[in-house]
Structure 1
Amino acid sequence: MSALFTPLTLRSLTLRNRIGVSPMCQYSSDRGFATDWHLVHLGAFATGGAGLVLTEAAAVTPEGRISPQDLGIWDDAHIPMLRRITDFCRAQGAVMGIQLAHAGRKASTRRPWEQPGGTVPLSEGGWDNVMAPSARPFASNYPSPHELSLDGIAHVIVSFGAAAIRALEAGFQVVELHAAHGYLLHEFLSPLSNQRSDHYGGSFENRIRLVLEVTDAVRAVWPAELPLILRISATDWAEGGWSIEESVQLAARLHARGVDLLDCSSGGLAAHQQITIGPGYQVPFARRIRAEAGMPTAAVGLITEAAHAEQIVADGSADMVFLARELLRNPRWPLLAAHALGAGISWPPQYERARLR
C-alpha cells in the first residue's frame, strides 16, 4: 500500500492523502479580495486530488501585504468570495487551509514579473508604513522599514487572531501561520534582521516571543478540533542567522502550544544567502525536526516525482509532502502519482474517462 496515499489525521480532520499544496502568491487580488482567478487556481488542485489545499499568503493587515495585489483577510468583506472558494474545494474532497501572513520589511513591493523587490510608490498603491523588528531593509531596492513599537507588535498579534476568526467563517479547516521566507515573524526569529534591545530581541527566548504569542492568540480562537500548522524557514543559509538547531528548539515549544504540523522550508531572510539546491534539498530539515522535536512535519522543495514523494513519507522523513511549482505545471499530479504508485483513488466523475488504466 502506498504511504503517500495513506490518509493522515490531524485532530478531527482526516486528509485523503499526504499531498499538500504549498501557498503560492498569485498577485491577482484587488484591495485584498480573492477573485475568480483564485477560485479556478485553487479549485484545480482540489479536483486534481490533493489532500490539503493552502491559499497563498493572506495578509492580516493592509500593510502586511507583499504587494498591492496580494490576498487579504483583514476585513469581513473578504469573507464571501473566500467562502465560495472553500465551498467548491471542500465539495471535491480537499481539506482547505489558509496561510495567515504579514510581510514585514518585504511589504509594498512589486509583483515579480514587473520588478522583483522594487518598492511600490504611494502613487501606485504602495504604502510608507512598512515595518520590521528593526529598521533594516532586506536589500537596497526594498523599502526602508520602521522599527515596530510595542503597541505595533500588540496590533500584529491581535490582527492574526482576528484573521483566524474570519478564516473560520470563510470555511477554512486549517490555518497555517507564515513564519518563513523573510517575512515579519521570521524577521523576529533571525538575529540578522532582529537587532532589538527589548524583550523581543537578543536572546533566543526573546526572538521567538512574537511567534509564540501569535500562535497563542490564534490557537485561543481557532477551534480545538481543527489543526493549526506553521511554516518555518529551518535555516537562513547565512552565517550568524537562524539555524536548524534553533528550529528544533522552537518546534518543541510550538508543539506544546498546539501546533499540529511544521511545514519545513528554508531561506528568504538574507539577500546574501547561499543555498545548494537539488531534489528534496530541504527534506533533511523536516526529518530532523520530526525526530528531535517529536512533532509531525511536511517536507517541501523540488519534490517532483511520485517515487520520491513516496519515499519521503515511507521512510519517516516527513508526514506529508507539499508541492508548489510542480502543481502549477500539472494540478492533476496527485491523480497521476496515484496511478504510478498503484494506489486506488477516485477521480472526479467528469474526468473519469481520462483515468489511466
Structure 2
Amino acid sequence: MTLRGTDFRNRLWVAPMCQYSVEAQDGVATDWHLVHLGALARGGAGAVIAEATAVVPEGRISPQDLGLWDDAQVEALRPVTAFVRSQGSVPGVQLAHAGRKASTFRPWSDEQGSVPEADGGWPTVAPSAVAFEGYAVPREMSRDDVVGVVEAFRAAARRSVEAGFGLIELHAAHGYLLHQFLSPLSNERTDEYGGSLENRARLLVDVVRAVRAEVGDELPLLVRFSATDWAEGGWDEHETATVAGWSRDAGADLFDISTGGLVAGVTIPVGLGYQVPFAQHVRETAEVDTGAVGLIVSARQAEEVVAEGRADVVLMAREFLRDPHFPLRAAAELGVELDYVPAQYQRAPFRTA
C-alpha cells in the first residue's frame, strides 16, 4: 500500500497502545519504548504507531505518558524510529491531547481517577466544564486556549518529523480532547467551536490543516475517530463520515475507525470485529481510505476485512501484545511467502499451530 510518498509492505499495522512507562514524568522515551516498538517492527508489521503522545504537558493521559511538546524529547525518539525503519516498518506516532481525561493514574495503579496536584497531577481543560464520570471537573477553554491547541499540534508535528517518524495520526477518538469537541455530549459551547456540526468539527479540521501545512505534502496523515459514542444524542457514524470528508479535504489521508470512550456506563455490543462495520460505513459514505480495529484476532479474519473491501488497513493491538511476530505467523497461515523474515530467526520457521 502507498500513501502519498510512503510505501507500506503490508496492510497489517500496529495500533497505538499507551504504555504509561515514562520514568521521569518528563515525556521522554525510555529503553522500554525502544524494545517494545522495535520488537513489533521486527515482527513484520507494515507500520508501528507509537502511543498517544501529548502535544502539551497538560494533555497527557497520565504523568507517565510520552510527549512531543519540547525539543528535548525529540532526541530520545530518534533511536526508536531508526530501528523501526531498519526492520522495514514505517514508524508512526499518535499526537494527542487528553482534555478532561488527562492527569489520571495509570491503569495498574492502586488508585484510579484524577491524580491530585500534590501527587504530580494538574488541572484539566475541556471544551466545556463537564467532567468525565469519576474525574475532576475541567476548566472550560477560552478561545485563545483553543487556538493554542492548534499551534501545539503543529509544533508537535514538526518535532515528529525531526524525531524520524514517517506517519502521523491525530487522536480524535476515545473521549480525548478533539473527540470532546466533536460530541455534543461534552461540547456545550455557544461560540464558533460549539453547536452545529461544522462548529464542533472546527478544531479538528484546523488541526489537520495546520499539521499538513507543517509537514508538507509527502507525509501520510491519519485521523483516529470514535465513530459512535454508543449514547443517545451523541456523536455517531454519520457525523464521523461527514467530518472525515472535511478532514480529507484539509489534508488527511486515512481514517482509523474505533468507537466509544467519551462517556462511561454505556452498553457496547463487544464481539469479534464489532467495529469493522463503522470503518466500512465511513469508507463507503465519505469515499475515503479507512483502517479497521477492534477484536480482530486472526489472520483470516483480518484478510477478509481487506479482501471484502470493508477497510483498507487492519490495525491490531492486543494480538500484537500476545505475539509481536503475528504478521509473520499470519503470512504462514495464509500461504504467503515473505522476504522480510529476520535472518536471525530463520532457524525457527513461522508456521500455523
Equivalent-residue separation in structure 2 for 1:237 and 1:265 (angstroms) = 12
1:353 aligned counterpart, secondary structure: coil
Which of 85, 103, 110 is equivalent to 1:108? 103
User: What displacement does 1:349 show?
Assistant: 0.8
**Is 1:256 aligned to residue 252 of structure 2?**
no
Equivalent-residue separation in structure 2 for 1:243 and 1:117 (angstroms) = 29
For residues 143-196 of structure 1, the C-alpha deviation after alignment (integer angstroms, 9 at most, x for no partner) is 210000001011111000000000000000100000000000000000000000
1:56 aligned counterpart, secondary structure: strand
Amino acid at match of 2:313: M
Q: Which moved more, 1:285-294 or 1:99-108?
A: 285-294
Equivalent-residue separation in structure 2 for 1:276 and 1:100 (angstroms) = 28
Q: Which residue of 1 aligns with 2:325?
A: 332
**Is 1:50 aligned to residue 35 of structure 2?**
no
Q: Which residue of 2 aligns with 1:4?
A: none
Aligned pair count reads 348
User: What displacement does 1:356 show?
Assistant: 3.1
Which of 78, 81, 91 is equivalent to 2:76? 81
Q: Which residue of 2 aligns with 1:132?
A: 126
User: What displacement does 1:272 show?
Assistant: 2.6
> How much is the aligned-residue C-alpha RMSD, in angstroms?
0.9
TM-score, length-scaled by structure 2:
0.97
For residues 182-211 of structure 1, the C-alpha deviation after alignment (integer angstroms, 9 at most, x for no partner) is 000000000000000111001111100000
Equivalent-residue separation in structure 1 for 2:202 and 2:112 (angstroms) = 28
Equivalent-residue separation in structure 2 for 1:125 and 1:34 (angstroms) = 19
User: What displacement does 1:115 show?
Assistant: 4.8
Amino acid at match of 2:65: D
Equivalent-residue separation in structure 2 for 1:23 and 1:255 (angstroms) = 21
User: What displacement does 1:257 show?
Assistant: 1.4
User: What displacement does 1:65 show?
Assistant: 0.1
User: What displacement does 1:303 show?
Assistant: 0.4
Q: Which residue of 2 aligns with 1:348?
A: 342
State how 1:150-229 maps to structure 2 within 5 Å.
Answer: 150-229=143-222
Equivalent-residue separation in structure 2 for 1:53 and 1:105 (angstroms) = 27
2:193 aligned counterpart, secondary structure: coil
Q: Provide closer, same or farther for how the CA distance between residues 263 and 79 of structure 1 changes in structure 2, counting only shifts above 3 A.
A: same
State how 1:263-278 maps to structure 2 within 5 Å.
Answer: 263-278=256-271
Which of 28, 32, 48 is equivalent to 1:33? 28
**Is 1:301 aligned to residue 294 of structure 2?**
yes
Q: Which residue of 2 aligns with 1:288?
A: 281
Equivalent-residue separation in structure 2 for 1:95 and 1:143 (angstroms) = 38
Contact 2:68-2:159 at 8 Å conserved across structures = yes
Equivalent-residue separation in structure 1 for 2:350 and 2:315 (angstroms) = 24
Amino acid at match of 1:136: V
User: What displacement does 1:116 show?
Assistant: 6.6
User: What displacement does 1:117 show?
Assistant: 4.4
User: What displacement does 1:119 show?
Assistant: 1.2
Contact 1:64-1:104 at 8 Å conserved across structures = yes
For residues 199-249 of structure 1, the C-alpha deviation after alignment (integer angstroms, 9 at most, x for no partner) is 100111110000001111101101201110000000000001001110111
Contact 1:108-1:143 at 8 Å conserved across structures = no
Structure 1: tracts of 5 or more residues without a match: 1-7
Which of 108, 117, 123 is equivalent to 1:122? 117
Contact 1:109-1:116 at 8 Å conserved across structures = no
**Is 1:279 aligned to residue 272 of structure 2?**
yes
Q: Which residue of 2 aligns with 1:310?
A: 303
2:115 aligned counterpart, secondary structure: coil
Equivalent-residue separation in structure 2 for 1:61 and 1:48 (angstroms) = 32
Amino acid at match of 1:137: A
Contact 1:21-1:323 at 8 Å conserved across structures = yes
Q: Which moved more, 1:248-257 or 1:56-65?
A: 248-257
Q: Which residue of 2 aligns with 1:5?
A: none
Q: Which residue of 1 aligns with 2:312?
A: 319
1:97 aligned counterpart, secondary structure: strand
Equivalent-residue separation in structure 1 for 2:116 and 2:285 (angstroms) = 45
Which of 130, 149, 152 is equivalent to 2:142? 149
Contact 1:32-1:78 at 8 Å conserved across structures = yes
Runs of 4 or more consecutive aligned structure 1 residues displaced over 2 Å after TM superposition: none
Contact 2:328-2:350 at 8 Å conserved across structures = no
Which of 49, 67, 70 is equivalent to 1:72? 67
